[in-house]
Amino acid sequence: MTDFRTYADEFSALQALPDSARLPTKDAAKALGLMGIPYTWKTLEKLRYTTTTGPRYQKVGAFVFYTVGDLRAFAEMQSEAA
């Protein structure tokens, strides 16, 4: 029961975030998992360097961020393709 409650709380928190909220790579991977796209942070890293099929990202110096809006659009695109 604790796992479900934690998942529900995390999902509610994700839904409450505005589209402009920026998440670092590990949090972005967790957010995609909550959206039904089971990508790890390593997968996101690999997609950044090897393809253009991953979600849009922003670099600020050495840091990489994903906006919640871009993650939502990517998850929707992935679910439509399936």
Residue 7: name the closest of 41, 44, 35 by CA. 35
Report DSSP state, residue 56: -
Which pLDDT score, from 0 to 100, does residue 72 have?
95
What is the pTM assigned to this prediction? 0.87
Please give the chain's pLDDT, 82 residues, in tens.
Answer: 346 668 788 888 888 899 999 999 999 999 999 999 999 999 999 999 988 889 999 999 999 999 999 999 999 998 887 6
Structure tokens at 6: 């934690």
Angle, CA 47 vertex, CA 70 and CA 30 arms, to 5°? 55
